[in-house]
Amino acid sequence: MLLLLTLICGLLSAVFTMLSPYVLGETIDAVVPGNGKPYSFPEYLVILAILYGLGAVTQWAVPYFASILSGKTVQRIREDAFKKLQTLPLRYFDTHKHGDVMSRITNDADNISDGLSQCLSQFLTGIITVLGIIGFMFALNVWIALIVLIITPLSVLVAKFVVVRSTRLFREQQKKVGELNGFAEEIISGYKTVKAYGLEEELLRRFSAVNDDLYSVGQKAQFSSSQINPSTRLVNHIAYISVGIAGGIAACLGGFSVGKIASFLTYATQFAKPINEIAGVTTQIQSALASAERIAEILAEDSEAADPEAMPELPEHIRGGVTFENVSFSYEPERPLIRNMNIDVLPNQVVAIVGPTGAGKTTLVNLLMRFYDVTGGSIKIDGTEISSVKRSSVRRQFSMVLQDTWLFRGTVRENIAYAREDAGEEEIIAAAKAAHAHNFIKRLPNGYDTILSGTGDLSSGQQQLLTIARAMLLDPPMLILDEATSSVDIRTEQYIQRSFREMMNGRTSFVIAHRLSTIRNADLILVMNKGDIAEAGTHEELMAEKGLYYSLVQSGITP
């Protein structure tokens, strides 16, 4: 409906714009006595005023409706892009800078909005106006109209030459904007590390290099696009002068009135205006198209393969036995990471996974959660192969606490109840108490109703406690703790460890940790190295073997 209203208003605006110069000429000729005109001079003035008034109203309505339509369209594009992100596999986020992805949904979407609005309000109306004016000019004088049409294509050729170059530059500019956003997002998220290592000057140098590249490309793009208007205006001025000379000659030869000359000169001016607008808007549209390509790249990404509706689900109540049978996996086919891995975890066991950085610890968890699918072998829960059941039913069996905390803008209560929106007040408080978060929550300005607006509201330890409370509230049959206590002090860790022991009681738990205190009481410790299980056993057994685990502990590099 909005599109139809915009097009109708654009068409009416073009019609009023085309009629006004013709009526203006008739009005001027009506001054001459015995002119044979159907209306008197005052009547023509009234008609002219009505045309200009209606033209002003429709010209106001076109950008109004166009802005609403472009806003709603881009809103839908953002929603579609965000929905697409929800369906993408973890691999996409592991291989793309988060800042660049954010830039596509925000900056590029805004660019599309601007381009679409300009296209609807000026581009389409301009084309209609140009075609209509050509018709009126031919009706007034064929030869003078031909002069305008011969000169006009020059401005189109000039505009096309500039647009081709500026399109490439605008595409490069949007790419640089994404790179700059990605770099800034990395620095802001790791600002504490930057300050700790005194990297401000080095990062400023690198930021300046990226920013300089953006400035250079942006300046070239803006300069290139800015050449359209002056170039086309020069051609249009030549056309205007030519019309004036030709009209004067025609008037001297007879049969061409002063009113017609005035109409033709007005048409020549109006003819130039939409041409200039079309030329100017073209660069904005090209920039929008470059942004649309970047969003289209997200929409074209392969979504995580959807599970068939008929696919069975893992039973809600499981015992928690986990088996890896000859599991192999690689992020890239030519670089295998895990080869023929075999693990047998009994129900309710606490399994600690340790090893050097890059050994494959987190990958093991990703496979268990089906964030990635194995390239060989199988993973089973209670004897059921997880690839044969819906992903959602597998992930429902786990609660996960990660090293990198994630809290959203909302109340403390909402953050704890994120995984269970139906949780009652007593359950939320019980989970907070179990995670030793209740006391500090009560000290907040509004307790559980305190709104968290950013990571600076709480210490890193307090943030971690809230994510632990969230996991405890979910109360799943299986747990995954990935460096879950690395951000808290020793005393807080002792409280959390006691809570974890209670929470892990009766549940199969997988713990990735670097602190020995976190894993020494595990039922089974898996020592990973280069994608393989190098050692397996209890803390005492592995220390007695004096292998890799023993070396890690003795060297002071806690696994």
pLDDT at 190: 67
Q: Is the pLDDT of residue 370 over 50?
A: yes
Cα–Cα dist 329/378, whole Å:
11
**Looking at domain 1-300, which of 3.40.50.300, 3.40.50.11540, 3.40.190.10, 1.20.1560.10 is its CATH number?**
1.20.1560.10
CA angle (147, 151, 156) in 5-degree steps = 145
Sign of dihedral through CA atoms 178, 165, 281, 296?
negative
pLDDT at 341: 86
- The CA-to-CA distance between both ends of the chain, in Å, stands at 63
Closest of 473, 540, 468, 477 to residue 349, by C-alpha = 477
Q: What mean pLDDT comes out for the span 367-378?
A: 88
pLDDT at 559: 47
pLDDT band at 302 (very low <50, low <70, confident <90, very high): confident
Domain boundaries, the chain: 1-300, 305-397+479-485+508-558
Query: Highest mean pLDDT range out of 180-189, 334-343, 422-431, 506-515?
Result: 422-431
pLDDT at 556: 57
Alpha helical stretches, state H, 227-352: 228-253, 258-300
Cα–Cα dist 99/24, whole Å:
56
Instruction: Write out the DSSP string of 344-364.
Output: EE-TT-EEEEE-STTSSHHHH
Q: Residue 512: how many CB atoms within 10 A of its CB?
A: 26
Percentage of residues in the chain having pLDDT higher than 90: 2
Q: For 383-408, how does the pLDDT look when each residue is reduced to its tens digit (9 = 90+)?
A: 889 888 888 888 888 888 877 777 77
Cα–Cα dist 378/234, whole Å:
72
Cα→Cα distances 9→14, 207, 223, Å? 9, 47, 33
Q: What mean pLDDT comes out for the span 488-498?
A: 69
Q: What mean pLDDT comes out for the span 439-456?
A: 83
Cα torsion for 31, 33, 39, 42, to the nearest 10°?
40
AA identity, residue 123: F
Inter-residue contact 176 to 296 (CB < 8 Å): no
Cα–Cα dist 462/459, whole Å:
5
The 10 Å CB-count burial string (b at 16+, else e) for 64-101 is ebbbebbeebbeebbeebeebbeebbeebeeebbebbb
Q: What global pTM score does this model have?
A: 0.64
CA 278 to chain CA mean position, Å = 29
Q: Which two tokens stand for residue 315?
A: 């039973």
Q: Which residues pair with 511 in a beta bridge?
A: 352, 481
pLDDT band at 551 (very low <50, low <70, confident <90, very high): confident
Cα–Cα dist 558/551, whole Å:
9
**CATH level 2 (architecture), domain 305-397+479-485+508-558:** 3-Layer(aba) Sandwich (3.40)
Q: What mean pLDDT comes out for the span 513-532?
A: 79
Q: For 188-232, how does the pLDDT look when each residue is reduced to its tens digit (9 = 90+)?
A: 766 656 665 566 777 788 888 888 888 888 888 878 777 777 777
Q: Which two tokens stand for residue 454?
A: 């950013």
Inter-residue contact 145 to 137 (CB < 8 Å): yes
Segment holding 533, helix H or strand E: strand 532-537
Q: For 70-99, how does the pLDDT look when each residue is reduced to its tens digit (9 = 90+)?
A: 888 888 888 888 888 888 887 888 777 777
**Mean pLDDT of the chain, nearest integer:** 80
Closest of 523, 28, 532, 513 to residue 263, by C-alpha = 28
Q: For 134-146, how does the pLDDT look when each residue is reduced to its tens digit (9 = 90+)?
A: 888 888 888 888 8
Task: Please name the residues in contact with 3: beta carbons below 8 A apart, sequence gap of 6 or more.
Answer: 69, 120
Closest of 311, 312, 340 to residue 325, by C-alpha = 340
Cα–Cα dist 529/358, whole Å:
8
Cα–Cα dist 354/526, whole Å:
6
Cα–Cα dist 154/135, whole Å:
20
Cα–Cα dist 418/473, whole Å:
9
Q: What mean pLDDT comes out for the span 446-455?
A: 80
Inter-residue contact 340 to 403 (CB < 8 Å): no
pLDDT band at 280 (very low <50, low <70, confident <90, very high): low
Q: Residue 555: how many CB atoms within 10 A of its CB?
A: 8
Helices 258-300 + 142-189 axis angle, to 10:
30
pLDDT at 214: 86
pLDDT at 298: 87
